[in-house]
Chain A
């Protein structure tokens, strides 16, 4: 039987980790992720899990230990945020390239400088090209649900890629919410046991991991990663469907909220999607047909599916909680992806980008409502006056 508890987003993930009972966890504390692993370390100390908990001296070492353990055949988890992820950088790529299905809770936080511990998505956007699968979560419950699914997705033999599960630093990581925890055994039954086909610790059949790989084969190995990412979308669909059936959820690659008859749509990820739902409801009360897409799977990017979902709207706004400095119009990274997806799938609709919430700047329902109101103007005129706006910044 599942039970309901009042948990922070971090504690929800800690509990998912307890139920997953990974073989190895290696992590280094960093705000706002810290109490995920801190709580988990208490589970280790209390003997509630069998995990080998490795306390390391940096995030670079944390991810290195994870790669080693995952190569050995272990089920491995870690957690980090912002600058911690930046310090992991080198090994983040190696984890994906060595095909280690590590699952990482990534509690999104702004990158320095100036130093800031609050939420934005500049950290995760930095690893968008690294070969990790990236799932986004609106709240602690979704982070918990995604973490459990991430184990199955990453370890699937057709995938074998690491998975980062994101949630917003402080906004959800430290907010106490009602979270449904599934029965321990049911989680175990769902995730099963990791069976590595090529465990490094198989001393009777030794293998080489991470060798030098030059112009003669490196390119082929990158091509294999493309294939794994292609396979990942199908596997995510399969695992999600099974999860939905077993645990009574309704996840997809993304969620369309009041989208069926919407005239305009906003795309948002993580907690802002929740705020945007309130904005949509307020506008609907006024008779305005507003809709929302909440992105769940950021990598592999569901471009074709998003384009299909947006085919009938008259204007689209992308909410970007990060800037891609020097990109066209200094737009956010999500904007570029969405625009490409629309154009390449022959959906020709005006799109505007709204950068917002950097460094934890609050985003309120009335601000998102103002975005919708601008979208209705754009839909009517067919013209985007300002392609990129910096919502909530003081002039």
Chain B
């Protein structure tokens, strides 16, 4: 939690004087589920990157690889896991239901509470 400023320390009228400071807003702490790479191989199709509403899919642009999640800003909506075609393949091949935190998936959504003991990844 950052230190909250007093009324003498902030710009008047709710003005925000620095452009692009939404990055400083740690929306990651809203998260109930956390996206985690599973065992299935990512094909770097970039559908998760395309669909993420918070630009929280991290990409190595040079090697055109999806490399993880920006957990400071990811709100855990799970759209990445829902649109992932590799996940869809795993679910189609599997017998019966596949839980959203099944380790066989490419992107699995794990309850945030399960990470509390080890802290942020």
A contact set with B: CB distance below 8 Å:
97-99, 160, 198, 205-211, 213, 216-218, 220-221, 223-224, 227-228
Measured CA separation A206–B6 after assembly (Å):
24
Partner of B12, one of A205, A206, A221: A221
Assembled-state Cα–Cα distance A374/B100 (Å): 82
Q: Is B13 an interface residue (CB 8 A)?
A: yes
A198 contacts B15, CB within 8 Å?
A: yes
A209 touches B13 (CB 8 A): yes
Q: Does B17 lie within 8 Å of A207, measured CB to CB?
A: yes
Q: Is the CB of B19 within 8 A of A217?
A: no
Tell me whether B16 and A208 are in contact (CB under 8 A).
yes
Is A207's CB under 8 angstroms from B12's CB?
Answer: no
Selected contact of B14 from candidates A98, A206, A228, CB within 8 Å: A98
Interface residue? B4 (CB, 8 A): yes
Partner of A99 from B12, B16, B19 at Cβ < 8 Å: B12
Give the Cβ gap from B110 to chain A, nearest Cβ, in Å: 29
- Report yes or no: B19 in contact with A198, Cβ–Cβ below 8 A: no
A213 CA to B7 CA, complexed, in Å: 13
Which of B's residues lie within 8 Å of A, judged by CB?
A: 4-7, 10-17, 19
B6 — nearest CB in chain A belongs to which residue? A220
Secondary structure class of chain B's binding surface, majority of residues:
loop
List chain B residues, Cβ under 8 A from A211.
14, 16
Nearest-neighbour CB distance to chain B for A231, whole angstroms, equals 12
Q: How far is the CA of A173 from the CA of B7 in the complex (A)?
A: 41
Across-interface contacts of A198 in B (CB, < 8 A):
11, 15, 17
Residue from B6, B7, B16 in contact with A207 in the complex, judged by beta carbons closer than 8 Å: B16
Do B14 and A160 touch across chains, with their CB atoms under 8 A apart?
no
Give 28 A-B contacts (CB < 8 Å), ordered by A residue: A97-B14, A99-B12, A99-B13, A198-B15, A198-B17, A205-B19, A207-B15, A207-B16, A207-B17, A208-B16, A208-B19, A209-B13, A209-B14, A209-B15, A210-B13, A211-B14, A217-B4, A217-B10, A217-B14, A218-B14, A220-B5, A220-B6, A220-B7, A220-B10, A221-B12, A224-B7, A224-B10, A224-B12
Cβ–Cβ contact A97 & B15, under 8 A: no
* Docked pose: A217 CA to B6 CA in angstroms: 9
Q: Is the CB of A221 within 8 A of B16?
A: no
> Which residue of B has the minimal Cβ distance to A222?
B7
Contact A223 B7 (CB under 8 A): yes
Q: Please provide the 8 A-B residue pairs with the shortest distance between their CB atoms, ordered closest to farther.
A: A208-B16, A220-B7, A99-B13, A223-B7, A206-B19, A213-B14, A98-B13, A99-B12
* Distance of A198 Cα from B11 Cα, bound (Å): 10
> Distance (Å) between the CB of A133 and the closest chain B CB?
15
**Residues of the B chain whose Cβ atoms lie less than 8 Å from the Cβ of A210:** 13-14
Residues in chain A near residue B13, CB distance under 8 A: 97-99, 160, 209-210, 221, 224
**B10 partner residues in chain A, CB cutoff 8 A:** 217, 220-221, 224
Query: Which residues of chain B have C-beta atoms less than 8 A from A213's C-beta?
Result: 14
Task: Tell me the bound Cα distance from A97 to B14 in angstroms.
Answer: 8
Q: Please, how many angstroms separate the alpha-carbon atoms of A216 and B17 in the complex?
A: 18
Most B CB contacts (10 A, CB to CB) among A206, A218, A228 go to A206
A98 to B15, alpha carbons, bound, how many Å?
Answer: 8
Cβ of A383 to closest chain B Cβ, rounded Å: 46
Q: Which residues of A contact B7 (CB under 8 A)?
A: 220-221, 223-224, 227
Nearest CB on A from B15, distance (A): 6
Q: Which residue of B lies closest to A217 (CB)?
A: B10
**Alpha-carbon distance between A209 and B19 when the two chains are bound, in angstroms:** 11
Add 12 more A-B contacts to A97-B14, A98-B13, A216-B4 (CB < 8 A). A99-B12, A99-B13, A160-B12, A198-B17, A205-B19, A208-B19, A209-B13, A211-B16, A221-B10, A221-B12, A221-B13, A224-B13
Task: Give the distance to chain B from A291, nearest Cβ to Cβ, in Å.
Answer: 40
Q: A206 vs B19: C-alpha distance in the bound complex, in angstroms?
A: 6
Question: Which residues from B are CB-within-8-Å of A205?
Answer: 19
For residue B4, which residues in chain A have a CB less than 8 angstroms away from its CB? Answer: 216-217
Contact B19 A207 (CB under 8 A): yes
B27 to chain A minimum Cβ distance, whole angstroms, is: 13
Closest chain A residue to B18, Cβ basis = A207
Q: Which residues of B contact A227 (CB under 8 A)?
A: 7
